[in-house]
Structure 1
Amino acid sequence: MSKKRNLRPEEIAMLQANACMADNWSSVFVPENFDIKYVSHTRFSGEVTLGAFNKEFILPGGLKKHAGLRHVTLHNCRLGDNCLIENVQNYIANYDIGENCIIQHVNVILVDGVSSFGNGTLVSVLNETGGREVPIYDWLPAPLAYVITLYRHRPQLISRISKLIESYSKEISSSRGSIGNNSRITNTGTIRNVRIGSYATIENCTRLENGSVNSREEEPVYVGDSVIAQDFILSAGVILSDAAKIVRCFVGQACHITHNFSAHDSLLFSNCAFENGEACAIFAGPFTVSMHKSSLLIAGMYSFLNAGSGSNQSNHMYKLGPIHQGIVERGSKTTSDSYILWPARVGAFSLVMGRHYHHCDTSDMPFSYLIEKDDETYLVPGVNLRSVGTIRDAQKWPKRDKRKAGLQLDPINYNLLSPYTISKMRKAVEVLKNLQALVGETSEIYYYQNTRIKGSSLRNGLALYGKAINKFLGNSLIKRLEGTAFSSIEEIWAQLQPTESRGKGEWIDLSGMIAPQEVIENLLRSIEAGEITSLEEISAIILDIQKHYYEMEWTWAYDMIESVYGVNLQTITAKELIALTEIWKESVVSLDELLYADAKKEFSLTSKIGFGVDGSATEKMKDFEGVRGDFENNPFVLAVKDHIVKKEALGNELIERLKVIL
């Protein structure tokens, strides 16, 4: 900002002639080259510093307006160069306004007292009555929020993290607000105690109170029609519009909250999309989606969720109040009019259909269906492994990540198969085999965690889990050996050796980030011991863990291959490696064939109902193909067929390299 000076007597006279007034003209400061003609009907109160007015704005529709002040009251404000501020009904108080900002037709913008701008706000996530409060701050990553929410059995850890957040909140607290460069605020009601970043657009908004709008040039924030937000933080790239209402919420990067959606006491992380419905005390990990008017998400933890219309949960049971919570693990879907009575836990990549009242826990049964029949919950283990929809979801999530490179708060792992899900599958196989041994292999119904499993479903689940385990372990092995021409078995042994000591044991999913539990435990112990003294250090360690995911994954897979197949990778022979490659090929191809068959259902006669309404069977077919295309040329079908060819070729190529050293 250029050097400022007091107004000259003749300038004061000209301003007064332009219907301007000041409590004390000596407290108004302007740049050396200052053009009086662009200031009219303005009142100055307290200390006010103005910038130059050299720019002409072209507004939507082509209207031109020059930077300046018209019909506005400024109290204790500092303006950057080339601001256009006009028609402020009440006043703007205690704000630093950046360059090239437009503020038009607003009621009031003020900071009253000292504010932390939403930082430090306690969000009563999962339990509406308290007990899992998360203090939010500008750069809150999902994994850290996960720990604060769920690790209440470690009070010293929670206390340490909370104090770091409290310290940050105090550090950024101020009696002055800020509006970043190139921001636009138009036709808006009240903005009170809100810090606004650069390139933000706020238009036709009703009320913003006690919050931060962390907009930036690469990821501008948009706040639109009739929005009400209170005690909030909006991360970069957020769109909040169309009468959405949020109270005590953290909204992560690139989230879209529109069309009358309302949320309170909720954490909504990267790339979530919410419309029409309602959220109450939820922890929405990355890519949680709810788009329908009748949907209610309440007291639940989700990530990569797709909630169907009318999805609902209940957490009170009419006893001690709304104290129950539920967890729906990553990648799950709830169908239209589905219902879950909390407490309950649903395994990763599961489909929930119908109404479920029996507090089931299927966390060790990923990729399953939960189907309601005659008020009972039937579990179909592993069946989602052959679902086209599951694979399409895994493909679309990375493509729908709207965050820009650079500052990404949430580390996100998109893998369907990982040490996390494969560990669950191994537990599932053990459970299902134990059920067979206890009840008998010919039983028609098995009982597990308040669910029922048909005998045919159990046997099918064992087969599907086995194929998925073989696929993942084979993928890891082949990836480790690809691109190298071996001349001796010793070279293979050397290449198979892990390069990362971390990764053994159990893995966990921290709302989008998959990591070894031991690695996370080391981080938490360091926080408890006071060895980590800043939030920046915690975030840096979390990002480093994400960076080394694949090295740690191989460390885990190395041990698992030895355990599952009974081999020693330090002395494995080429013949054994060829046998493992053949197992992998068979599993990959057979799973792809199941996907192919599932995709074909989308082109069945039933799917063609409603096409070619007034025509013959031939016209029905042509209408269907005009809209949906034909099966053999469908992009997904072509991708599956191509995947089969490539994986077979990849396996054969490795086998040929291994034959050299037989």
Structure 2
Amino acid sequence: MGAYRGLTITEIEQLKQQNCMADDWSAISVTKDFIPDHICHTRFSGQIKLGAFKKEFMLDGGLKKHSGLRHVTLHNCEIGDDVLIENVPNYIANYRIGNDSFIQNVNILVVDGKSKFGNGTEVSVLNETGGREVPIYDKLSAHLAYIIALYRHRPLLIEKLKKMIDTYAENHASETGTIGDHVTIINTGTIKNVRIGSYCTIDGTSRLENGSINSNEHDPVVIGHNVMAEDFIISSGAHVSDGVVMMRCFIGQACHLSHLFSAHDSLFFCNCQGENGEACAIFAGPYTVSMHKSSLLIAGMFSFLNAGSGSNQSNHMYKLGPIHQGIVERGSKTTSDSYVLWPAKIGAFSLVMGRHVRHPDTSKLPFSYLIEKGSESYLVPGVNLKSVGTIRDALKWPKRDNRKDPEHLDMVNFNLLSPYTIQKMLTAIDVLRHLQESSGETSEVYSYQSACIKNTSLVKGINLYSKAINKFLGNSIIKRLENIRFKSDEEIRERLRPDNNIGTGDWLDLSGLIAPKSEIDRLINQIESEEIKTLEPIQQTFISLHKRYYDLEWAWAYEVMQSWYHRSIDQITAQDITEIVNIWKDAVVSLDEMLYADAKKEFSMTAKTGFGIDGNTQQKNVDFEQVRGAFENNPFVKTVNEHIKAKTELGNELIDRIAHLIN
């Protein structure tokens, strides 16, 4: 806006004639292009800076309104160029308002004292009574929040991290709030101690107190009708509307909360969706979805979750209060009216159906069904590996990443098969075989972690896990050897050797980021030793680990494949590679055929119930096909068939490329 000047006597007189008043006209500064024509019924108090008012706003329906000030009281405010503010019954105090912003029919907009605008607010996730508080700030990632919430066995680490966030909050504290450029605030009640980023729209909101709305030009934020929020951070691209009530919450990038959803003491990271239901003290990692009125998520950690209608948990089992928590690992689903009594831990990519009150821990058996039968919980290991729903989810998540902000706070790995899940499958096979050995292979039912496993389910589980492991390791080997013409077995061995050994050992899922435990431990040690003293290097470490994922993954796969295939890489030959690729092809085709069969169930006669309502079987079939399409033309079915063909060709290509090395 350039340099400021004082008002001229002529301008003061004109403002008075336009029913304006000021406690001290000399306390008002204006830009050189300022003219007072579009300011009327305005009271000025304290230090005021005004830009030029030249622009017209075109409103819905074709109405034009010129920028300016009308029917408003301003106290200690700086107003940018081409701003329209009108019809503020109370006042606006202690705000810097950017260019081209539109503020109309707002009850009060004020910063009262020094505010941190939500930064540093402690959110009591998982345990409502405290102990796992996560202090939120503008750039909080799911991965850092994961460490703060769950690594309480490292008190020095927590102390250092909280100190860093406190420093950030203090550095961003101010007695003056900011409203960015191109912001629209209309028909809104109270806004108090809230910092509002550029291109934000606030329309019909009831009350916002002590928070930051980190909207920007790349990914604007929308806050809609009847929203009430207190002690919050809302990240870029978020949409919060239609009666949402929240207190002490972090809303991540591109989250969507609406339709009377309520939440307190909860963290929602990127691409979460919440409608109709309720969240209490939850850690909602990326893609946590709850859409139904009767659903309650409480005291749990989730990610890539799809909560069915009526999903519920309990954290109040004894008389000491709501102290129990649950962990639901990535990719799980809860069916309608499912219930889990915390404490419990549900393995990755599992399906929970029915009521479970005996505190199951299925974390070592991923891709399972946990089903209520009578009063017992039955576990079906690995069966989700052949579920069409699981694969469909894995395909849709990347397509539903709605983040447009070039700066991503959460590093999201969408891989269904990764060192994180494959190491669990290796453990699962050991667990299931140990059950066989300890209880006998002829036992009809095995008992495991407060759940029952049928003999047939156990045998099928080992088979499914083995296929998935063969698929993952085969994928890794083929990728490592692609596009290279080898002249000898030694060249193959040299190519298979990893560039370094970083990535061996256990892997973790830090709420979206899949990374080696050794690297997370290294980061933690750097924080505790104060080699890292600020938040930015921590985020850069997460970004680096995410970018290096496939290199690190190969180091892990290289180590595991030797024990899995009982072959030393130092002695491996083209013949061995051919055998491994053939095992891989069998696993891929077999799993895809299972998916194909599972998808076909959706086109069975049972699925056609309710179609062709007034006709015969032929009409039922025609009605079904008109609505759902033919099975062969279903996009997912086509994808499965194409996948079988493509993977078979990929394996054959490698076999042909190294065939000349086989005697």
The TM-score with structure 1 as length reference comes to 0.99
Write the deviation string for residues 601-643 of structure 1: whole angstroms up to 9, x where unpaired. Answer: 0000000001111122111111100111111111111111111
Alpha-carbon distance in 2 for matches of 1:451, 1:73: 66
Residue 643 of structure 1: aligned partner: 643
Residue 481 of structure 1: aligned partner: 481
Alpha-carbon distance in 1 for matches of 2:493, 2:317: 58
Write the deviation string for residues 126-166 of structure 1: whole angstroms up to 9, x where unpaired. Answer: 00000000000000010100000000011000000000000
Q: Secondary structure at the match of 2:89?
A: strand
Q: Secondary structure at the match of 1:76?
A: strand
Alpha-carbon distance in 2 for matches of 1:321, 1:636: 47
- Matching of residues 34-183 of structure 1 within 5 Å: 34-183=34-183
In structure 2, what residue type is equivalent to 1:659? A
Residue 495 of structure 1: aligned partner: 495
**Structure 1 segments (4+ residues) deviating >3 Å:** none
Aligned-pair CA distance for 1:180? 0.3
Q: How large is the RMSD of aligned CA atoms in angstroms?
A: 0.7
Q: Secondary structure at the match of 1:191?
A: strand
Q: Secondary structure at the match of 2:539?
A: helix
Structure 2 unpaired stretches of 5+ = none
- Matching of residues 228-627 of structure 1 within 5 Å: 228-404=228-404, 406-627=406-627
Q: Secondary structure at the match of 1:73?
A: strand
Aligned-pair CA distance for 1:500? 3.4
Write the deviation string for residues 28-52 of structure 1: whole angstroms up to 9, x where unpaired. Answer: 1111122211000000000000000
In structure 1, what residue type is equivalent to 2:575? K
In structure 1, what residue type is equivalent to 2:163? K
In structure 2, what residue type is equivalent to 1:252? G
Per mean C-alpha deviation after superposition, the further-off stretch among 500-509 and 142-151 is 500-509
Aligned-pair CA distance for 1:375? 1.4
Alpha-carbon distance in 2 for matches of 1:294, 1:125: 21
Write the deviation string for residues 504-554 of structure 1: whole angstroms up to 9, x where unpaired. Answer: 000010001111000100000000000001101110111101110000000
Q: Secondary structure at the match of 2:610?
A: coil
Per mean C-alpha deviation after superposition, the further-off stretch among 593-602 and 399-408 is 399-408
In structure 2, what residue type is equivalent to 1:145? A
Write the deviation string for residues 408-466 of structure 1: whole angstroms up to 9, x where unpaired. Answer: 00000000100000000011100100100111111100000000000110011010001
Structure 1 unpaired stretches of 5+ = none
In structure 2, what residue type is equivalent to 1:426? L
Residue 10 of structure 1: aligned partner: 10
Alpha-carbon distance in 2 for matches of 1:61, 1:133: 48
Residue 202 of structure 1: aligned partner: 202
Aligned-pair CA distance for 1:318? 3.9
In structure 1, what residue type is equivalent to 2:40? S
CA contact (8 A) 2:420 2:508 kept: yes
**How many residue pairs were aligned?**
662
In structure 2, what residue type is equivalent to 1:654? L
Alpha-carbon distance in 2 for matches of 1:500, 1:643: 32
Aligned-pair CA distance for 1:501? 2.8
- Do the aligned partners of residues 660 and 405 (structure 1) sit closer, same or farther apart at CA in structure 2, a change above 3 Å counting? farther
Per mean C-alpha deviation after superposition, the further-off stretch among 625-634 and 170-179 is 625-634
In structure 2, what residue type is equivalent to 1:428? A
- Matching of residues 210-225 of structure 1 within 5 Å: 210-225=210-225
Write the deviation string for residues 268-291 of structure 1: whole angstroms up to 9, x where unpaired. Answer: 000000000000000000000000
CA contact (8 A) 2:245 2:263 kept: yes
In structure 1, what residue type is equivalent to 2:117? F
Alpha-carbon distance in 1 for matches of 2:116, 2:489: 62
In structure 2, what residue type is equivalent to 1:520? I
In structure 1, what residue type is equivalent to 2:59? L
Alpha-carbon distance in 2 for matches of 1:118, 1:656: 61
Alpha-carbon distance in 2 for matches of 1:227, 1:447: 48
The TM-score with structure 2 as length reference comes to 0.99
- Do the aligned partners of residues 146 and 172 (structure 1) sit closer, same or farther apart at CA in structure 2, a change above 3 Å counting? same
Alpha-carbon distance in 2 for matches of 1:77, 1:569: 70
CA contact (8 A) 2:88 2:107 kept: yes
CA contact (8 A) 2:350 2:384 kept: yes
Alpha-carbon distance in 2 for matches of 1:21, 1:567: 88
Aligned-pair CA distance for 1:405? 5.4
CA contact (8 A) 2:219 2:405 kept: no
Per mean C-alpha deviation after superposition, the further-off stretch among 46-55 and 500-509 is 500-509
In structure 2, what residue type is equivalent to 1:258? S
Write the deviation string for residues 167-218 of structure 1: whole angstroms up to 9, x where unpaired. Answer: 0000000000000000000000000000000000001000000000000001
Per mean C-alpha deviation after superposition, the further-off stretch among 536-545 and 271-280 is 536-545
Q: Secondary structure at the match of 2:524?
A: helix
